[in-house]
Amino acid sequence: MGDNRDARSSAAGRRPRSGVRVFDLIGRSVYRLRWPIVILWGVACLLGLPLAPTLPGILKAGGYADLSLESQRASLALETVLGWQSSSLIVVFHSDTLTVADPRFVSAARKTIARLVGIPGVGSITTFQDNPRQIAPNGHTAYDTIDLRVAPEDAHHLLPAVRAALRSDVLEVDLTGPPAFYADVETVSEQDLRRAEILTFPIALFALALVFGAIVAAATPVIIGGVAVVIALAALAVLGHLTDLSIFVLNVVTMLGLGLGTDYSLFMVSRFREEQRQRDTAAAVRVTVATAGRAVAFSGAAVLVGLLGLLTFRFMMLRSLGAAGVVVVSLTVLAALTLLPALLGILGPRINSLPIGPSWEMRNALWERLAGWVMPRSGRVIVPALILLVGLGAPFLQAHLSLPDARVLPVTVSSRRGADILERDFGASDLTPIAIVVQTSGSIFTPEHLAALDRLVRALKADPRVRGVTSIVSLDPRLTLAQYQLLYADPSRIPDPYVALAAHRLARGSTTAVIVTTRSSSIAPETEDLVRAIRAYDPGGGLHLMVDGSAGAAVDIVAALYQQFPRALLLIIGLTYVSLFLLFRSVILPLKAILMDALSLFASYGALVVIFQQGFLANLLGFEPLGFVEATLPIIMFCMLFGLSMDYEVFLLSRIQEAYRRSGDNTASVTEGLARSGQVITSAAMIVVIVSLCFVSADIVLIKALGLGAAIAVFLDATIVRALLVPALMRLLGDWNWWMPRFLRVGLPRSVVLR
């Protein structure tokens, strides 16, 4: 423990170390150039205003393309070998009173579909009259399929013209299918964002006014967050022309920009008001940037590290969220270190104008009393806090991870409504079957290959999870294998017209498709287990199987996500540990900080399972329980919130560290640090919780879950973790908090307190 004396021996008058000198210089420069800096940011914001609204039009749906996945290789084979279209729409016709047997039903459907002829990009149309399987057993619902002559990522451009043509005075007409689903997700996302922005700004301003007790002080964080978001959206509008960006970028940028903007501004403004009571405005700005500004820079670096983890994934959806997050966080930190102190330098004492509510000092006194209560009761605080957080996170051990389907959209949206009608009247998996691509080294129509294919089909039919199988050897249950072998003896001259048509669609050369409808939905655990069982099955005869379909894609993408996640985890945790080690000059504190972050995130994961998988509070929050947790959600939350939660750790430990360097008394330093930072940390967390909860109003369940998960994680982190668990643990660890082996101190500058 002798090494700790080195950390305590820093004199107040010693020259600031290089890191502090840098931020001290920034503070001096910003104050001197305060007016040019404000004007420069204002011009940038004005230039960004016309660009920002163009971003939604260039964002992309999907984002899970990766040909290393079996399901996507199978999909490519179906498209290139068998000629199946990867972009197709489904037009759903329904009537409560008419049936398909009624000529009025058929006539109305024909007139509706006829309007699609001639629309550029619309290919072949298969009507329910061409294929009777497209008529529901109850006769009140039928559907037509539309193949599109465009790539899946460009299909949404056709949707306005197609939707405009699909109208009927006789039938209910809905357009569904993947292109329609993604287009609706884009539209609803924009609506969600506008609603969240309308809610966020006035509520955040009101909350900040209560926190600061002054209207002018409350306005500055909103300005910083708003400016950062506008310029970030404009920058992404430019970036979107260079690379693909996900449609979820909009919501994530706004949530991060407003949340972090108010977070960092609150820390800076509160420190400025504190310093201004004993210094002039120029000195107050300088010290604010050198202390709180330095902590903001390290906090921003922690958030950036988390977002960089998203860039390690192969999927565009996650990479684009990481890139967008890096842009908005970088701009937010830059605004907090330049624009905000420039505004503070201009405002000076007027930052306290239009006062309301109790003074900041009165509320700090409450935190000092809380710290005094926690210190002598450390053991009794730690145990129940740990039990609570672990208990909240326990349901995550039962999480079922899958990919979203139409149920993430509200029931009023056409693609969701059409999907619901089809599921109700046709069955859970009729339109999302498992597609098995079977390939051989020669013609699939040889007797040996047909025999092996027949073994596969019989094994599938015997599985209780399977409801039906369609293949070239199961077209007619009355035919035997020998008869099929005779029929396909010359594939170019199949005598039965129905068999010839089906064989042409299902098989070509060395490739054939087997279509499996299941008894459960495509995202049910038993269906995903069936996919794995099919992949493990060896039918012999030289057949090679690849599984596609919604269930196959879900299994592949979820597996790929969580194979890549450990790499992101190691990057995030490693870089976070190093940055905190350099900031706090301690081996123990970074490790404790990482474990505390993990606890709050684990607890929020458990809450997501209870709410979105099991349906607790579903009616109150206005959504239908999914029965699963969207697979990317834990990853996005970790990469976004790990660094965000680290903000509070950095600001708390920075104040404790300042006190410890002055006094060398660990217990007194923890008490002082909590007293001085507790109010600002919980206030900042409250603003982030408010911003996050505004996104709970979203109609898209993924955005709703992300907003709620962030709110829960930040709330637990700022209350249970930072206010109770961290100070209690630091009290127990004592001087070991600041321990660092002597050999690690070589080359590190000595720490001092800036006076």
- Please check the confidence at residue 188 and state whether its pLDDT lies above 60: yes
Chosen domain end from 524, 548, 572: 548
| C-alpha dist (Å) from residue 589 to 265, 375, 733 | 25, 18, 10
Kindly state whether residue 203 falls inside one of the protein's structural domains: no
Residue 592 neighbours by CB under 8 Å, 6+ apart: 726, 729, 730, 733, 737
Q: Do 150 and 282 lie in a common domain? A: no
Q: Does residue 47 surpass a pLDDT of 80?
A: yes
Are 350 and 444 members of one domain? Answer: no
Please choose, from the candidates 667, 633, 634, 688, the residue with its C-alpha nearest in 3D space to the C-alpha of residue 738: 667
CB count within 10 Å of CB 43 equals 10
Tokens of 268: 């800076």
Dump pLDDT digits (tens) for 125-148: 889 988 888 999 999 999 999 988
- The secondary element (H helix, E strand) that includes residue 466 is strand 466-470
pLDDT band at 631 (very low <50, low <70, confident <90, very high): very high
Among residues 755, 746, 738, the alpha carbon closest in space to that of 583 is found at 738
Number of Cβ atoms within 10 Å of the Cβ of 239: 17
Contact 369, 704 (CB under 8 A): no
The pLDDT tens digits of the residues spanning 450-475 come to: 999 999 999 999 999 999 999 999 98
**Together in a domain, 44 and 118:** no
115, 162 contact by CB (below 8 A): no
Q: Output the pLDDT for position 357.
A: 62
Does one domain contain both 504 and 544?
yes
For residues 589 and 649, give the distance between their C-alpha atoms in angstroms, rounded to a whole number. Answer: 10
Q: Looking at the domain assignment, is residue 397 inside a domain?
A: yes
Q: Which of 496, 517, 548 is the last residue of a domain?
A: 548
Res. 739: pLDDT tops 90: no
Residue 197: inside a domain, yes or no?
no
Which one, of 208, 578, 245, lies nearest residue 357 by Cα?
208
Residue 543 pLDDT > 50:
yes
Shared domain for 573 and 488, answered yes or no, is no
Q: Does residue 234 sit in the same domain as residue 307?
A: yes
Is residue 71's pLDDT more than 70? yes
Give a yes or no: residue 192 inside a domain: no
Spatial separation of the C-alpha atoms in residues 528 and 533, rounded to whole Å: 9
Taking 80 as the threshold, does the pLDDT of residue 182 lie above it? yes
167 and 122 together in one domain: yes
pLDDT higher than threshold 70 for residue 266 = yes
Does residue 427 sit within a domain?
no
* Number of separate domains in the chain: 4
Per-residue model confidence as pLDDT tens digits over 663-672: 888 888 888 8
- Does one domain contain both 298 and 173? no
Q: Which residues are CB-contacts of 431 (< 8 A; sequence separation ≥ 6)?
A: 90, 419, 422, 423
CA distance 385 to 381: 6
| Residue 621 predicted with pLDDT over 70 | yes
Please state, rounded to an integer, the average pLDDT across all residues of the chain: 86
How far apart (Å, rounded) are the C-alpha atoms in residues 154 and 182? 11
**258 or 533, greater pLDDT:** 533
Q: What was the pLDDT predicted at 676? A: 78
Give me the mean pLDDT over the 338-350 stretch.
93
Q: Encoding tokens for residue 391?
A: 């208990």
Give the contacts of 715 (CB within 8 A, at least 6 positions apart).
Answer: 685, 689
Q: What pLDDT score does 6 carry? A: 43
Place 20 in a pLDDT band, splitting at 50, 70 and 90: low
Q: What is the pLDDT of residue 1?
A: 45
Contact (Cβ atoms closer than 8 angstroms) between residue 599 and residue 389: yes
> Do 699 and 629 share a structural domain?
yes
Return the number of other C-beta atoms located less than 10 Å from residue 503's C-beta.
Answer: 21
pLDDT at 154 exceeding the cut of 80? no
pTM (2 decimals)? Answer: 0.84
Round to whole Å and give the CA distance between 520 and 529. 11
Residue of higher predicted confidence among 593 and 337: 337
Q: In angstroms, rounded to a whole number, what is the distance separating the alpha carbons of residues 594 and 600?
A: 10
- Residue 450 belongs to a domain with what CATH number? 3.30.70
Question: 152 is written with which tokens?
Answer: 């899946």
Band (pLDDT 50/70/90 cuts) for residue 749 is low
Cα separation, 145 vs 142, in Å, equals: 10
The closest alpha carbon to 319, from 548, 60, 707, belongs to 60
Q: How many CB atoms lie within 10 A of CB 398?
A: 12
* Residue count of the chain: 755
Q: What is the CATH number of the domain that holds 168?
A: 3.30.70.1430
Q: Is 70 part of any domain? A: no
Residues 578 and 703 grouped into a single domain: yes
Q: Say which amino acid occupies 535.
A: R
Q: What is the mean pLDDT of residues 372-400?
A: 90
pLDDT value of residue 103: 94
pLDDT greater than 80 at residue 16:
no
pLDDT of 5 reads 42
Q: Does residue 162 surpass a pLDDT of 60?
A: yes
- End-to-end, the C-alpha distance of the chain in Å comes to 27
Separation between Cα atoms, residue 406 and residue 183, nearest integer Å: 12
Instruction: Compute the C-alpha angle 437/442/448, nearest 5°.
Output: 85
- pLDDT for residue 13: 38
Same domain, 277 and 157: no
Give the structural domain span for 113: 84-182
Going by the DSSP 8-state scheme, the letter that residue 438 receives in this structure is E
Question: What confidence tier does 196 reach under pLDDT thresholds 50, 70, 90?
Answer: confident
Q: 3-class SS at 60?
A: strand
* Per-residue pLDDT tens digits for 269-321: 888 988 888 889 999 999 999 988 988 888 888 889 889 899 999 999 999 99
Residue 251 reports pLDDT greater than 80: yes
pLDDT of residue 267: 83
pLDDT of residue 640: 85
Same domain, 152 and 264: no
* CA neighbor of 637 nearest in space, from 735, 568, 542: 568
Tokens of 123: 């290919």
Q: How far apart are CA 742 and CA 3, in angstroms?
A: 6
Model confidence at 15, pLDDT cuts 50, 70, 90, reads: very low
**Cα 441 to Cα 542: distance, rounded to the nearest angstrom:** 7
Q: Is 8 among the domain residues?
A: no
Pick the last residue of a domain from 297, 324, 357.
357
CATH number reported for the structural domain that contains residue 721 in this entry: 1.20.1640.10
Q: What is the CA radius of gyration of the chain?
A: 31
Three-state SS for 15?
coil
Instruction: Give the mean pLDDT of 594-607.
Output: 91
| The predicted structure's pLDDT at residue 541 | 87
Q: What is the percent of the chain where pLDDT is above 70?
A: 94
- Transcribe 98-147 into DSSP letters: --TTSHHHHHHHHHHHHTTTT-TTEEEEE-TTT-GGGB-TTSSEEEEEEE
List the alpha helices (DSSP H) in 409-446.
414-426
Q: Provide the angle, in degrees to the nearest 10, between the axes of the packed helices 378-393 and 588-608.
A: 40
State how far the alpha carbon of 699 is from the alpha carbons of 55, 58, 420, 558, 706, in Å: 20, 21, 17, 24, 12
CA distance 248 to 317: 8
Q: Which pLDDT score is estimated for 745?
A: 67
Q: Which two tokens stand for residue 285?
A: 């700005």
What's the pLDDT at 346?
A: 94
Q: Which residues of 658-670 are buried (b: 16+ CB within 10 A; e: fewer)?
A: bbbbeebebbbbb
Q: Is residue 537 part of a domain?
A: yes
Percent of all residues in the chain with a pLDDT value above 90, rounded to a whole number: 41
